[in-house]
Structure 1
Amino acid sequence: MASTQQSAPCSSQSPPEQPLQVKVVGLFKSSSFQIAKSAAENLKSNYPSTFEDPIIIPVQEFAWDQYLQEKKRELKNEIWEYSAYVMCFINDQLLGNALDLQKWAHKVWNIVDFKSPALYEALTMDYSAKFLRDTKHDFVFLDISIDFYPIGRLIFELYCDTCPKTCKNFQVLCTGKAGFSQSGIRLHYTGSIFHRVVRNGWVQGGDIVAGKGNGGESIYGPTFEDENFSIPHNKRGVLGMVNKGHHSNGSQFYITLQPTPYLDRKYVAFGLLDPILDPQNLEMWDRDCMYCQLSPRRFLLSHLGTGYLGITARCK
């Protein structure tokens, strides 16, 4: 009788190696995100049996800020002073920023990145354009003058996917395409003023009735409802709608000059100053509004897409 062949005990076999997976989470318009993305893809391409497909997660700016704060609370002292625009993980363990991933890929896996900084900048621009097309975000370009003297440009990203109705109201008021309201108000920001500028606080304008801060009208009627409170007031440059209480948005808007978390869930934010496309980043308001208590100054803002936003503004 033939003997039964015994299987080798499990303990004599080498345990299978766990495949590696790189995860990259970062600000979509940052070149460091592109560097990390490229490193992760190169690892998979050169070692397909060792690495699983990388997880690449591009996020918008306000989402990145929230993600970073959550990770700081989770990991505590390990990344408390972390300031990069991207985080890289190996099997869900934090490795570091884009440079850390590049160094690890070179030291452990002998992968060298030969792409130039200029190439990464070009890749970032192309990727950002596609990302924004996919998310249906729009941009508003505001050329600013003080007493008709040009001082710079502000560029705002409008979160049309998050607050489509609020963004449409702002865009149409900028272009004037809605004409006049039933009450005879011209639905256009041209000629309106910034009636309030609070240093280190916010700038406020958009009263298209008398410019005193007690009027305004939306393209939907006198007022419209609060769309949502998804976007936090956690930094400079947040663009939001002024109201007189819940569901009373008209045409007045504000731009924050610093984090104003006390506005969360009270005012609808729908856009954000782009700090990468606009290096001035509201510094003109800090610099010039120190004189606002002494004398009125007039700000002229213009150009939105194919239309024009002509707003004269005075500091108070």
Structure 2
Amino acid sequence: MDKPLAPLIEQRADPFIHRHDNGYYFIASVPAYDRLELRHATTIAGLAEAEPVTIWEKEDHGPLSELIWAPELHYHQGRWIVYFAAAPSREIRDGLFQHRMYCIATSARDPMLGEWSHPRQIDTGIDSFCLDGTAFQHDGELYYVWAQKEASIPGNTNLYIARMATPETLDTPPVRLSIPEFDWETRGFMVNEGPAVLIRHGRVLLTYSASATDENYCMGLLWADQTADLLNPASWTKSDTPVFTSDPQRSVFGPGHNSFTVAEDGTTDVLVYHARTYTEIVGDPLWDPNRHTYVKPIAWDPDGFPRFGRPSLDDVSPNDDEKATS
């Protein structure tokens, strides 16, 4: 019998782990959705017992006063940046919350001790519900990928990319990369969100999450050749099947909103994601706190595509036949 995978950290959704020269930093959505907190440890396992430090709290009123979601910690151009989403209230309009994307920054050597800037909005040029921003460097350029509602397209959010002028500002108009179109992307809600980027084996790989945040939540994959124009939608190919899904046999449900890091050996790629251990959720899944942070190593198939295996296991079994391009 395979040993089920235990959570790394309980009750932390939308997890993000950044590997730096002094170890690992962890940030995620907290159940109260009211603050940004960091952890640091010299190992990934050590993050479980690391003491959280609050670096920012939601404001009493205004656009940054509710539902602080999906923070990510990045280090770009000599500064630490935290990207996150916030809303002015818990009010739902036209089926959506009112989130916009923001960032805070510090030049401190240690982000746990830094004095952080006041939040600055990431302006995409489209004034609509948006969240889940991430940034990555490629060929000397900084890019931003995120999820946003476009009025003319049915559903909640699509995925967009733009080149950045600075870590806080975009340099190009948004380019739409993906919309929820397959059955597995439209269960409960029509969603593409939570993008994460990994550049390996000659490709820019972009994972994302789809469907409602219950047992239907799962991960999809886009990819482009690393020499291609990333701002051209034609450069990207989309898998028509999910690459990481619930594992009912071992009670791991809704795996997704992932990020990537590298293990202590400096070579093994690691998937970081959240999941639940049950499906009996009372009310809206967003208010259920039991999305836990998990990590597991990634395997690679002979064609250079990632194999994530089963979310209940701490490795990728040779018997797993998942393939991103299947």
Q: TM-score, normalized by length of structure 1?
A: 0.25
Higher strand share: 2
- TM-score, length basis structure 2: 0.24
Q: Looking at CA atoms only, which structure, 1 or 2, has the larger radius of gyration?
A: 1
Give the structure with the larger helix fraction: 1
